[in-house]
């Protein structure tokens, strides 16, 4: 398969123009007086959205008086919008939050954007027209959106009962029942044994967020045989929204037990709809062509379905898809199906259905919707400790409603997202390092920063290959355990041409989310989503890890031996992307995993002094835990790691000795971040000592690098030393490295940068440019 690379020289002019335009659209917010900020909602699926729930994180600068209470929100016509607010994260030593998570119902036109306005919250937000109602029940809870009533019971997972009243009158009688009581099934098959959620002990139900607009419910349980035995666990997060006829369901299956490998022959989730074979059902499936579904009436013993068996093959069953529509198959247009009876219907969308092959979606004339996560005949070898997460959308509608077809497909393409000005994220201290000078304050550097941003965007997009089938990630990187990761060739002397995976080791998702904030381009969010899911599912476990956060799994083979390999111990220390996903979009799994990583570093730091990156990455991981919880144990662990790094550096002639200069840069990055939190003079002295030693031994003015491109990881330390000491040499060396990098032409190197190179080069490179800290 051949790949086209994007030329950064060809597009940098366009990107610079876009960034200059963004600076005009997003003026810098004032930090004094009454707080006000523009919030832009971007549409990315090509449809009109009306009253769609959007969650966005609003960062709060330390000590900002205008954000001690949640901000108020006004729509483009000046009307105040009902908002559900939740505080997230802490500023140490202060009572106010680090972020406000706001959920509201937004409207935006196709291929456009809508401008909302945030202001200081001096009064309570108005109530929505139809509020969520959440009640505890015997052994569970119920969630009433106004059109949907979902009843959950710990001893009858996942869904126990479901009703739908499109009138909004909350009439949940038998005539509006959608599911047969207990009519869902979550199960898998290993050989001849079946393991079901319904055969296990009662699940744990946790209400993670509740309010008038959104509820997040988490269920945790096991998959067991009839004797109550089984190695798999599940976690199911359900999001329900006020007035909405749809639910979002995130389902994670995790392999536990003592066996290194399990061969899973089938895995599925099934919903049995009320009416069963007594109703006449019409099945509708996406055809592979955007907004052009096909349907058929299914007889009581018949079925219709779609199956993805490889990155090149999609097949339909029981339904005719015109051959002309298969010439350019679009991935989001094959991941959904619907069963409609005499009065209502249920559509099921599977996010990234084709990209995570093998998959099958089955609709039966008996009123069953079955999502086969692993279809029969496509067995998957599942390593111990690894997980797999799928996102579903359940959309309930009346028989006459055709709007659902457009919306369910658009949900799979990309829902609306909200974004503030990049300058506000910077001023609020979101980024580990500041990055963007304003053109009127630093005109001599502004063009350089714009070029660097253009280059970083192209380098990041090039990692994922040319778009195909209507999505940004090339089919080369698709597959059940592969999607969200990148395959890399390693041409070592002992093992030439070895191919391996596991490219999130330096928190590439964090970099993608940062780029989304900086540019406002949703493409980076599209790339970050699968990477974050893969990071939590695969990269944080290994075959002997059970369900603990432990070193990463190289899930294809080791680049050294070709065998299943455990990544080096440092690789689990990557939680900033997970935490940022929680702050930006209310991703509770991201928050949970970020804390688990910090807990793991508290239990076992994984430090190897001869691999100095382990100092820095461990410090960053524990500081993330401290930031989100405020618990002192994480700060104490960061302090212990910093002291160990200081003691080691003091003994070494070259600062932080290592085979690769970037490892010393990563150690310094962690110490710099710790210094920003604690302002410890001893830490600053060690940073200065290590940088001075690195300059003495490795700075080559002719080459323009501290040894090589890895010297760019020193940018944060060089910027700190320049600001604190006033010595220009630190800044001059840092800028010289950037100029050397910008002068290089990746197209003449014969290959684009690898994921590792991109993640290392850009992780703190912007810190050299003046900005508020």
Distance CA 620, CA 579 (A): 12
Peptide linkage before 374 cis (omega within 30 of 0): no
- At 578, which helix (H) or strand (E)? helix 576-585
Are residues 497 and 577 both part of a single domain? yes
- Model pLDDT, residue 542: 45
Residues 6+ apart with CB under 8 A from 521: 457, 515
Tell me, yes or no, whether 157 lies in a domain: yes
Query: Is the domain of 93 the same as that of 171?
Result: no
Counting as low any pLDDT under 70, the low residues of the chain are 1-33, 323-327, 432-444, 489-503, 541-571, 745-751, 770-773
One domain for residues 399 and 513:
no
| 471 and 382 fall within a common domain | no
Placement of tokens 């630190």 in the chain: 730
pLDDT digits (tens, 9 = 90+) for 67-119: 989 999 999 999 999 999 999 998 877 878 999 999 999 999 999 999 999 99
Structure-block tokens of residue 5? 């690379």
Range of the domain at 227: 133-413
Minimal CA–CA distance to 401: which of 347, 360, 450? 347
Alpha-carbon span 746 to 744, nearest angstrom: 6
Please check whether residues 101 and 145 belong to one and the same domain: no
What pLDDT sits at residue 668? 97
| H or E segment and range at residue 417 | strand 417-419
Residue 58 is part of a domain; what is its CATH number? 2.60.40.1180
Q: Name the residue among 621, 535, 616 with its Cα closest to residue 576.
A: 621
Identify the CATH number of the domain in which residue 387 sits: 2.70.98
pLDDT at 22: 46
Does residue 17 sit in helix, strand or coil? helix
Q: How many CB atoms lie within 10 A of CB 532?
A: 26
Asked whether residue 428 is domain-assigned, the answer is no
pLDDT at 9: 53
Structural domains in the chain (count): 3
pLDDT of 502 reads 64
What is the model's pLDDT at position 414?
95
Q: How many CA atoms lie within 13 A of 599 on its CB side?
A: 11
Residue 196 lies in a domain: yes
Same domain? For 107 and 231 the reply is no
Written as six digits, the tokens of 208 are 């993670």
Nearest-angstrom CA–CA distance, 513 and 524: 7
In a domain, 730, yes or no: no
- Contact present, 357 and 482 (Cβ < 8 Å): no
111, 140: one domain: no
The per-residue DSSP string of 551-567 comes to SPEESS--TTTSS-EEP
Our measurement of the distance from residue 752's CA atom to the centroid of its chain's CA atoms, rounded to an integer in Å, reads: 24
In a domain, 430, yes or no: no
The domain boundary residue, chosen from 575, 604, 633: 604
Same domain for 301 and 162, yes or no, is yes
In angstroms, rounded to a whole number, what is the distance separating the alpha carbons of residues 136 and 742? Answer: 59
Select from 86, 119, 152 the last residue of a domain: 119
Q: What pLDDT shows up at residue 254?
A: 93
- Considering 119, 147, 171, which residue would you say is the last residue of a domain? 119
CA distance 386 to 481: 9
Contact 148, 159 (CB under 8 A): no
Helices 576-585 and 588-603, axial angle in degrees (round to 10): 150
Together in a domain, 58 and 107: yes
Residues 157 and 301 grouped into a single domain = yes
- Residue keyed to tokens 């086209």: 4
pLDDT of residue 556: 41
71 with 166, same domain: the answer is no
Residues 220, 76 within the same domain? no
Tokens at 93, concatenated:
């030593």
Under 8 Å CB-to-CB from 475, ≥6 apart: which residues? 311, 312, 355, 468, 469
Q: Is 703 within a domain?
A: no
CB 102 within 8 A of CB 85: yes
Tell me if 704 is assigned to some domain: no
Instruction: Judge whether 630 lies within some domain.
Output: no
Pair of tokens at residue 385: 């400790």
């Amino acid at each position: 398969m051949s790949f086209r690379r994007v030329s950064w020289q060809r597009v940098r002019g366009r990107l610079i123009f876009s960034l200059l335009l963004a600076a005009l659209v997003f003026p810098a917010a004032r930090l004094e007086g009454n707080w006000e900020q523009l919030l832009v909602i971007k549409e990315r699926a090509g449809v009109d959205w009306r009253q769609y729930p959007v969650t966005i994180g609003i960062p709060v600068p330390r000590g900002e008086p205008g954000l001690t209470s949640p901000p108020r929100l006004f729509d483009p016509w000046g009307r105040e919008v009902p908002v559900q607010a939740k505080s997230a994260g802490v500023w140490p030593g202060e009572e106010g939050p680090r972020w406000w998570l706001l959920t509201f119902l937004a409207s935006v036109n196709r291929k456009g954007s809508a401008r909302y306005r945030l202001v200081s919250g001096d009064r309570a937000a108005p109530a929505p027209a139809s509020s969520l109602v959440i009640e505890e029940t015997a052994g569970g809870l119920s969630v009433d959106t106004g059109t949907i009533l979902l009843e959950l019971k710990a001893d009858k997972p996942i869904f126990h009962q479901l009703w739908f009243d499109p009138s909004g009158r909350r009439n949940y009688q038998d005539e509006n029942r959608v599911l047969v009581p207990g009519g869902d099934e979550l199960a898998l098959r290993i050989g001849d044994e079946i393991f079901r959620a319904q055969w296990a002990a009662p699940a744990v139900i946790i209400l993670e967020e509740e309010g008038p607009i959104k509820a997040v419910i988490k269920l945790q349980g096991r998959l067991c045989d009839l004797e109550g035995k089984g190695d798999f666990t599940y976690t199911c997060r359900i999001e329900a929204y006020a007035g909405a006829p749809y639910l979002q369901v995130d389902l994670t299956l995790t392999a536990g037990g003592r066996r290194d490998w399990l061969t899973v022959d089938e895995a599925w989730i099934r919903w049995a709809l009320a009416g069963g074979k007594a109703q006449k059902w019409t099945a509708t499936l996406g055809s592979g062509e955007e907004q052009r579904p096909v349907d058929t009436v299914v007889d009581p013993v018949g079925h219709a379905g779609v199956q993805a068996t490889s990155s090149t093959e999609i097949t339909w069953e029981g339904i005719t898809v015109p051959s002309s529509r298969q010439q350019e198959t679009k991935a989001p247009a094959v991941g959904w199906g619907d069963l409609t009876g005499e009065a209502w219907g249920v559509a099921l969308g599977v996010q990234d259905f084709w990209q995570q092959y093998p998959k099958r979606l089955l609709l039966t004339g008996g009123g069953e919707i079955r999502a086969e996560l692993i279809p029969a005949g496509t067995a998957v070898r599942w390593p111990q400790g690894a997980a797999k997460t799928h996102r579903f959308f359940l959309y309930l509608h009346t028989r006459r409603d055709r709007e659902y077809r457009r919306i369910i497909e658009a949900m799979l393409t990309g829902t609306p997202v909200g974004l503030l000005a990049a300058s506000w994220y910077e001023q609020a201290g979101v980024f580990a390092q500041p990055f963007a000078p304003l053109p009127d304050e630093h005109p001599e550097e502004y063009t350089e920063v714009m070029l660097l941003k253009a280059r970083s965007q192209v380098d990041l997009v090039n990692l994922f290959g040319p778009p195909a089938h209507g999505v940004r990630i090339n089919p080369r990187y698709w597959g059940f355990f592969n999607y969200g990761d990148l395959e890399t060739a390693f041409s070592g002397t002992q093992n030439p041409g070895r191919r391996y995976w596991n490219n999130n080791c330096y928190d590439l998702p964090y970099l993608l989310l940062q780029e989304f904030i900086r540019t406002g381009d949703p493409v980076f969010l599209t790339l970050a989503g699968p990477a974050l899911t893969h990071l939590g599912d695969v990269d944080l476990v290994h075959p002997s890890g059970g369900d603990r956060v432990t070193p990463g799994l190289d899930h294809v083979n080791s680049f050294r031996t070709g065998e299943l390999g455990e990544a080096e111990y440092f690789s689990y220390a990557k939680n900033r992307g997970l935490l940022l996903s929680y702050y930006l979009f209310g991703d509770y799994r991201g928050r949970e995993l970020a804390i688990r990583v910090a807990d793991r570093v508290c239990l076992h730091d994984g430090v190897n002094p001869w691999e100095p990156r382990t100092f820095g990455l461990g410090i960053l991981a524990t500081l993330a835990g401290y930031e989100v919880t405020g618990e002192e144990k994480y700060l104490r662990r960061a302090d212990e790691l910093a002291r160990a790094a200081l003691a080691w550096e003091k003994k070494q002639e070259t600062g932080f000795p290592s085979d690769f200069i970037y490892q010393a840069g990563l150690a310094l990055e962690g110490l710099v971040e710790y210094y920003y939190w604690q302002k410890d003079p001893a830490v600053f002295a060690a940073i200065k000592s290590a940088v001075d030693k690195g300059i003495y031994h490795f700075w080559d003015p002719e080459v323009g690098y501290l040894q090589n491109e890895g010297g760019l990881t020193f940018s944060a330390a060089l910027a700190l030393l320049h600001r604190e000491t006033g010595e220009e040499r630190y800044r001059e060396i840092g800028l010289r490295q950037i100029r050397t990098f910008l002068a290089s032409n990746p197209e003449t190197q014969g290959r684009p940068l690898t994921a590792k190179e991109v993640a290392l080069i850009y992780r703190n490179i912007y810190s050299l440019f003046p900005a508020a800290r």
